[in-house]
A and B are shown apart, each in its own frame.
Chain A
């Protein structure tokens, strides 16, 4: 598996990472090197083995249905570049 230049630009855009034209080539090389590295796993026969996404042998931690947080609107928006009446303000986005 390898990625072409177009895919590199697309992935960057989906991740909202600004990539200049000069960077696309080197990035493509780095990504393909990583993919080739991962591809070595293809040598292992995993037929009949269920995919594993976690290695911790424990049950999911759960919380009670109790309200324990909130009431800190001013703090929530404190780091935002722009706010008004405890709303976050962002450049206009309308469908």
Chain B
């Protein structure tokens, strides 16, 4: 929390430099078929109130019964965050009134959460990494959804989300910039997706964050914080922090003070504004839910879940660096999504790991991004891309032709090896044929030949002409060697 201050992260105010301090509460929807305490479906996008049980609608006399898969998912997540698993935890009622909360309280965990302290290792773009402390993770119910734009005087309430299981993951105030905050949520999302405990779909609200922001002069105690509620994209998290930090700095430099309050980020206007009406509701009067016994399990249960965890991104990244000789950066790009990492491994298996990484990252990811496609919907399979890498490795095609071949496989599909044969894309390594082409070019350009003796960089022009004359199929190494020889360039 009091790590040395990096001057690059400071925000310049009118008078001083300021350090921003950020902590986050991330609400991650648990991946499960049914809700936390009822048998209604969690599926997104149903007709209004179609996925609602009598428990979710808080009909009198209904009792909650916990979904054991939600417990397992919370424990798996705790293990993935290297956190302490609490074998005894308690569900409490958090009391407040809102139309989309029919019980009048949210079942949550207050003093005794299911998961305690852990940590997340976050890699930054500049190659450094930070460790973000996790304070706790607890299970709670989601609320329903209110629509305010359907009628001038009425709000419409849909309880389909009511009772869906959420994991609230609370970080320590260990983040020192909007970049760090964004990287933290990105990493957390990656871990959750690897674990399969949350789909991380921010557009559907599966992952949203409450962001606590304060500022201070470097070395001073923590400033008063404001909580920005319900930010639902990683980009907005960055914007909300920047906006809020600057608002606070302006107030402090003006001689004012910060009121601790809940605020809302408006991406359209690029501002945060106070939600004063929420303040009074903050007296939640937590107490243990008398409808639910304490949640207890033994170490064997935790161990069994631990044994079933997949390889997590940090371990996978380290393995990619070690086994495939990748740079930490490339390995980081490949492990960001489990599907990407799996695809890469299928291509790299039995091949040059670096060449495979270059093709997956530069050509495939580049093309997928351009088309707005995910790795799951790639038209080029790992087998096909692997064959292209093989053809280059064997010297059958040049790197340049390989790109043309990739394009053909992308748009038309087919077996790369057969395509190379049928379309005559094989690299020409027959020096006789290359020599003939070079001789023609030399004969046609006596002036350039003369210049090249003075200016060896002209070699590039000759290489270009030769490649053109051979339809790009000449072996570049052979072309270079022959040209140097014939032009008399050392």
Where the two chains meet, the residues of A that have a C-beta atom closer than 8 Å to any C-beta of B are 10, 14, 16, 53-54, 56, 58-73, 76-77, 82, 84-95
Contacts and interface: CB of A to CB of B under 8 A. Distances in A.
A68 B95 CA distance: 28
B159 interface: yes
Interface of B: 32-34, 38-41, 46-54, 57, 65-71, 90, 95, 97-99, 146-148, 150-159, 264, 275, 277-278, 283, 285, 288, 290, 292-296
A66 to B, nearest CB: 6
A65 B32 contact: yes
Given A63-B68, A67-B39, A87-B147, A95 B275 contact: yes
A69 B48 contact: no
Contact of B52 (A60, A70, A84, A89): A70
Residue among A14, A69, A71, A84 with max Cβ neighbours from chain B (10 Å): A69
Main SS at interface, chain A: loop
A53 B444 CA distance: 96
A65 B293 CA distance: 19
Contacts of B54: 69
A54 B294 contact: yes
A81 B412 CA distance: 60
Nearest to B38: A69
26 contacts: A14-B285, A16-B97, A53-B90, A60-B296, A65-B67, A65-B68, A65-B70, A67-B34, A67-B40, A69-B40, A70-B39, A70-B51, A70-B53, A73-B47, A73-B50, A76-B49, A87-B48, A87-B49, A89-B151, A89-B156, A90-B99, A90-B155, A92-B152, A92-B154, A92-B155, A93-B99
Contacts of A85: 48
Interface centre among A61, A64, A66, A92 (most CB of B within 10 A): A92
B136 to A, nearest CB: 19
A95 B264 contact: yes
Given A85-B48, A95-B277, A62 B33 contact: no
B42 to A, nearest CB: 8
Contacts of B264: 95
Given A70-B53, A91-B155, A60 B277 contact: no
A88 B56 CA distance: 14
Given A76-B49, A88-B157, A65 B34 contact: yes
A84 B49 CA distance: 11
A14 B95 contact: yes
A94 B148 contact: yes
A60 B36 CA distance: 14
Given A54-B293, A54-B294, A67-B39, A76 B57 contact: yes
A71 B50 contact: yes
A61 B32 CA distance: 18
B67 A62 contact: yes
B409 to A, nearest CB: 41
Given A91-B155, A93-B98, 14 more contacts: A59-B293, A59-B296, A60-B66, A60-B296, A65-B32, A67-B41, A69-B54, A84-B156, A88-B157, A89-B151, A90-B146, A90-B154, A92-B155, A94-B155
B53 A60 contact: no
Contact of B33 (A16, A53, A60, A65): A65
A84 B90 CA distance: 38
Contacts of A92: 148, 151-155
A51 to B, nearest CB: 9
Those 6 A-B pairs whose CB atoms lie nearest each other, nearest first: A68-B39, A65-B69, A69-B53, A73-B49, A87-B156, A88-B157
A77 to B, nearest CB: 6
A53 B294 contact: yes
B33 A67 contact: yes
* Residue among B48, B65, B67, B151 with most chain A CB within 10 A: B48
A60 B49 contact: no
B66 A62 contact: yes
